[in-house]
């Protein structure tokens, strides 16, 4: 959410940013919120004047009563009553206007970083760098669920009977591999200096609206019927929410946390045959990282965070690339974002396995996460990034570590988490 003062002083900058995000339908909102902001300030001025007048008249009533001028005092009292009625009327309008301003301001997109490429949608995202050689073996690589099935490692049919489409059972060595990957990712981030955390898996609506846009909320979140609770779509939501309405001392920054959680998502819409199986599902598990920091440090953290994911994938012998998200592919709260994509030797292309985002002070402004520094108070900057998110990570792992005889090679970094196994058969 933007600072209303910034919008008031830079309306054309805000409008151009909206155009850069190809959201021209939101252009009228800028003028609308400016008009509402003007009215809000007029109301405040009138209310302040009425209160000042009330104090002045109260003194005059006291003086009249002291002088025995009761009739004159009664006239002043009528004026106080009339002013009180007007003040109440204005206060009601002020509340309504401020609610409208807040709703609109939460809809206007955040100002993107100048380095973000301008593009309409994800087809115009830009590849920046590749890590590792993307190889295609000389033997056929089956579809990922077929690989899992050969190890008796997946049961989608039973999950369908129990929970419907978009769920699965992982079994045996495949389930163990899943847990090994998340445990390895946890320790990897702890070694980077991050504090490990297991957060609440449900959050209140004020946290939901604080961490994400309305469009994301509608397409992702599951609501708990009859309660002000939502299942988290990613642990980033409850991890950033941990700091809601907090005043942090500058010396406490940066806050660097890594968290494990299940994730629950509606995943509306059809996504094509390559996203069947366990690619896009309603429930999965993830290791996440978040940073709460000073504004001047957020871009440095952005660079560190996505590189941590690259480093982790490379220790598991998975080639990856960094893909920068263009303006039209950025969610409204994001200043800058990139995807880390893993190589699929079966598809002979890369696919998304993680996303790193710098949200500037947008989430902090919505949630009231402020910092007390030596030069005054300010809103913190927040960032988030996927460490690993099985089962997508499992797809990349299985395809890139599948051997000609059908066994799965276990890279050295993961062997301590797999009981010392060098492969699974």
Q: CB-based contacts of 245: which residues, under 8 Å, 6+ apart?
A: 367, 368, 369
Contact 358, 324 (CB under 8 A): no
What does the H/E/C string look like for 286-315?
EEEEEEEECHHHHHHHHHHHHHHHHHHHHH
Give pLDDT, residue 162.
Answer: 94
Give pLDDT, residue 268.
Answer: 53
Flag residues of the chain having pLDDT under 50: 269-274
Give pLDDT, residue 266.
Answer: 87
- Give the separation between CA 82 and CA 93, rounded to whole angstroms: 17
Domains of the chain: 4-105 (1.10.287.40), 122-424 (3.30.930.10)
Q: The whole model's pTM is what?
A: 0.88
Give pLDDT, residue 272.
Answer: 45
Q: CB-based contacts of 252: which residues, under 8 Å, 6+ apart?
A: none
Residue closest to 391 by CA, chosen among 383, 399, 403:
399
Phi and psi torsions of 69, nearest 5°: -90, 70
Give pLDDT, residue 274.
Answer: 47
The residue with tokens 């991890």 is: 239
H or E element that contains 93: helix 70-105
Give pLDDT, residue 15.
Answer: 97
Contact 261, 288 (CB under 8 A): yes
- Give the separation between CA 89 and CA 377, rounded to whole angstroms: 34
């Amino acid at each position: 959410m933007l600072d209303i003062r910034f919008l008031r002083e830079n309306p054309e900058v805000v409008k151009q940013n909206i155009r850069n995000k190809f959201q021209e339908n939101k252009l009228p909102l800028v003028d609308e919120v400016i008009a509402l902001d003007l009215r809000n300030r007029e109301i405040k001025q009138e209310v302040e004047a009425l209160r000042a007048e009330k104090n002045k008249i109260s003194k005059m009533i006291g003086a009249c009563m002291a002088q025995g001028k009761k009739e004159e005092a009664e006239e002043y009292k009528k004026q106080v009553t009339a002013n009180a009625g007007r003040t109440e009327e204005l206060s009601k309008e002020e509340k309504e206007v401020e609610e409208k301003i807040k709703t609109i301001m939460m809809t206007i997109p955040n100002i993107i970083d100048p380095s973000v490429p301008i593009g309409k949608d994800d087809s115009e995202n830009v590849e920046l760098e590749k890590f590792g050689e993307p190889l295609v073996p000389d033997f056929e690589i089956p579809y990922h669920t077929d690989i899992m099935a050969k190890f008796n490692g997946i049961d989608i049919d039973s999950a369908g009977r129990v929970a419907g489409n978009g769920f699965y059972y992982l079994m045996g060595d495949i389930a163990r591999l899943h847990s090994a990957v998340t445990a390895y990712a946890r320790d990897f981030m702890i070694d980077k200096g991050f504090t490990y955390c297991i957060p609440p898996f449900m959050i209140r609506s004020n946290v939901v609206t604080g961490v994400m846009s309305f469009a994301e909320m509608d397409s992702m979140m599951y609501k708990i019927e009859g309660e002000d609770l939502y299942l988290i779509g990613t642990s980033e939501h409850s991890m950033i929410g941990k700091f809601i309405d907090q005043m942090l001392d500058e010396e406490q920054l940066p806050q660097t946390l890594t968290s494990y959680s299940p994730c629950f998502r509606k995943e509306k819409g059809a996504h094509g045959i390559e996203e069947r199986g366990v690619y896009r599902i309603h429930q999965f598990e993830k290791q996440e990282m978040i940073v709460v920091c000073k504004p001047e440090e957020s871009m440095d953290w952005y660079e560190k965070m996505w590189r941590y994911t690259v480093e982790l994938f490379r220790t598991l012998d998975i080639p990856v690339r960094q893909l920068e998200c263009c303006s039209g592919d950025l969610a409204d709260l994001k200043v800058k974002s990139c995807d880390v994509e893993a190589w699929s030797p079966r598809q002979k292309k890369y696919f998304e396995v993680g996303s790193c985002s710098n949200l500037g002070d947008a989430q902090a402004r919505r949630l009231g996460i402020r910092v007390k520094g030596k030069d005054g108070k300010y809103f913190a900057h927040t960032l988030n990034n996927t460490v690993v998110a099985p089962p997508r990570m499992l797809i990349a792992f299985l395809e890139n570590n599948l051997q000609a005889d059908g066994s799965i090679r276990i890279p050295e970094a993961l062997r301590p988490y797999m009981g010392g196994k060098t492969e699974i058969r």
